[in-house]
Amino acid sequence: MWHGAAHPKPIRVVVAVALAAGLCPLPLAAQGPLSAIEWLQDSVLVPDPDGLQPVTPPTGDAWMDGVITMRPLDRVQPDAVGLFPAARVGLPRDFWQPSTAAQLAPLVLDLPEDTLPALRTLAYRLLLAEFEAPAGDATDAQTSPLLSARIDKLYEFGALDQAVALLDTLDSRDAALKLRWLEIALLLGDETPVCTRVLQSEAPFPFEAARIYCQARSGDWAGAESAYMAAEDSLPAPYDQLLARFLEVEGHVDHEPLPPLAGLPAQLSPLAWRMREAIGESVATHGLPVAFAHADLRGTVGWRAQIEAAERLVRSGALTPNRLLGLYTERAAAASGGIWDRVRTVQRLEAALSRDDPDEIGAALIHAWTQMAAAELEMVLVSLFTGALRDIPLDGDAAAVARAMNYLSDDYEEIALAETGEDARSRLLAAVARGLPPDPETAGDPTQAAVVEAFAETPEIPATSHERLTEGRNGEEALRVLGRIGSGSDPRMLGEGLALLRYLGFEDIARRTALQALLLERRG
């Protein structure tokens, strides 16, 4: 349960002009206590020219006075699909208004893969929530640039299960979406039902190699061979060679080795990767985009490869830490160094906690934190072990690690209430966790100074952002913020981004982001 949540302070806007710079105060609405359950956060408030309006109105009609829209009940707007209502994460249904899909799609595609965990959480919410379609969305379209961008970005994040769930909400006849769906299914090892959809598509399918593969996959090898023979001259490399070998077409199989990966398309497609695997010339997924890591979780590769894949997916937010813990503790480490040191230290920490020896736990915790931090996997320890460590009497470096884990956990505000503030860093962390203006003297480096400024009485936001916000383009600005902050390694961008997140009502995300920027070692 949360206690003592502070009200965010007004924000000032820096407007640069030729002769002078003026400060325009813009009030940021007060928030109630932050919920410990992310999906149940209280509705927040944002300013409008006439006063304060709730971001999430009490009813769906509150902001629809004088606005009547009509569309057939059986027609689903592509950009209106999602996995949960926007209100579930404290956002308005019209969050994308008045921006258009064409304006939002490039910003979605620009969302960075390498980012702080809190920012990645917000990115997932924006990609997966159910909003009203942006302005000008064509209700009779099969797809839209925004929906395609959402699917592509989830694919880039490695969030394949989430992308499939989003696609499953549609009954789209769009062949391009079916092709992307097939690519995802190939990596998950579940292409049969999607191949059925591909084969039901109206001819010509935009990528004939996919149709031929699905025809063979369905058991119609003769039909697939005939289709291959008819399309052979038009198939691009390397799909002409891959299909010939996959189908074992008589007289067309060149038994020379396939070209090395460098000779294939710059981004190896899941279809090409899957066919190479099928003909016995597989390509390791380690150097491929993170989405390919799912293929290593099918149980067809060794333990090390599975752990490496799970680590990549946990780091991108696409897999739960518990799945990684299950792999870490599956058996004894096979060697030393790198991944095996992480396996060994996590096993040691888990064993120490079971014996309830503070000295042993402290030593194991320090080693585990060092190893996991080197791989940017600290949040795995935070998720799995913070609760178990809460009542263990630790001292020295172990106590410092445990305190950092507490601030990185869901209970960061409760932890701050008990903070004694023995040094400047402790006072800064406690103030940020409670949403209070930090003492400027607690800023000892540029990152700390940026955080202090963002949580000051009147933090600054850029004039260009203010212009978009006064036009109501909050969703568009949220995407811009996520694209700018990135890993939090640029103090100026971090400070501006945190101020904008608070203005937009993402107080919990802003606090978590600031704490992670202060406590996690990220090099961008």
Q: What total of structural domains would you count in the chain?
A: 2
Question: How confident is the model over 303-328, as pLDDT tens digits?
Answer: 999 999 999 999 999 999 999 999 99
Same domain, 303 and 166: yes
Task: Look up residue 257 and give its two tokens.
Answer: 């080795």
Lowest mean pLDDT among 135-144, 158-167, 194-203, 472-481: 135-144
Indicate yes or no: pTM above 0.75: yes
C-alpha 242/C-alpha 132 separation (Å) is 43
Same domain, 278 and 193: yes
* Inside any domain, residue 18: no
CA distances from 317 to 81, 91, 160 (A): 21, 21, 11
Q: Are residues 187 and 232 in the same domain?
A: yes
Residue 364 and residue 330 in one domain? yes
- Beta strand 84-85 pairing with 129-130: parallel
**Cβ(131)–Cβ(88) below 8 Å:** no
Does residue 437 lie within any of the structural domains? no
Query: Do 296 and 207 fall within a single domain?
Result: yes
Domain annotation covers residue 471: no
Angle (CA) 396 435 463, round 5°: 125
Answer yes or no: is 517 within a domain. Answer: no
Please provide the DSSP assignment of 43-102 as one string. P-EEEETTEEEESS-SSTTTT-TT------TT---GGG--SEEGGGGT--TTTTTTSBHH
Based on the fold, state whether residues 287 and 387 are members of the same structural domain: no
* Assigned domain for 383 exists: yes
Q: Are 154 and 147 a contacting pair, CB within 8 Å?
A: no
8-state DSSP, 146: H
Domain end point (choices 356, 378, 409): 409
What number is the average pLDDT over the span 401-416? 96
In a domain, 415, yes or no: no
287 shares its domain with 389: no
Read off the amino acid at residue 472.
G
Same domain, 225 and 254: yes
Region label for 320, one of left (φ > 0), alpha (ψ between -120 and 50) or beta (otherwise): beta
Based on its alpha-carbon atoms, the radius of gyration of the chain, rounded to whole angstroms, reads 26
How far is the CA of 153 from the CAs of 190, 481, 496, in angstroms? 21, 16, 24
Structure tokens at 275: 């066919």
Specify the pLDDT at position 464: 87
pLDDT at 142 over 90: no
pLDDT band per the 50, 70, 90 thresholds, residue 136: confident
Q: Give the Å distances, CA to CA, from 73 to 79, 137, 180, 228, 513.
A: 15, 16, 27, 42, 41
Written as six digits, the tokens of 476 are 């568009």
252 and 350 assigned to the same domain:
no
Could you tell me which residues come within 8 angstroms of residue 472 by beta carbon, excluding any fewer than 6 positions away?
Answer: 97, 98
Q: Are residues 330 and 183 in the same domain?
A: no
CA distances from 158 to 140, 229, 510 (A): 30, 35, 24
Phi, psi of 46, deg, nearest 5: -130, 155
Q: Does residue 265 carry a pLDDT above 90?
A: no
Tokens of 235: 């198939």
Q: 47 pLDDT exceeds 60?
A: no
Q: Say yes or no: 328 and 313 in one domain.
A: no
Query: Does residue 247 belong to any structural domain of this protein?
Result: yes
User: What is the structure's pLDDT at 82?
Assistant: 93
Residue 236: the pLDDT is: 87
Q: Which of 350, 376, 409 is the last residue of a domain?
A: 409
Q: In 3D, which of 222, 227, 233, 226 has the Cα closest to residue 210?
A: 227
pLDDT digits (tens, 9 = 90+) for 325-365: 999 999 999 888 889 999 999 999 999 999 989 999 999 99
Question: Domain residues for 228?
Answer: 158-319
**Range scoring the smallest mean pLDDT among 30-39, 83-92, 164-173:** 30-39
Cα 480 to Cα 323, 421, 486, 521: the distances in Å are 32, 35, 10, 24
Asked, for residue 369, whether it belongs to a domain, the answer is yes
Among the listed residues 47, 53, 60, the one whose alpha carbon sits nearest the alpha carbon of residue 86:
60
16 pLDDT above the threshold of 70: no
What is the percent of the chain where pLDDT is above 90?
62
**Of 386, 409, 432, at which residue does a domain stop?**
409
Together in a domain, 346 and 214: no
pLDDT band at 178 (very low <50, low <70, confident <90, very high): confident
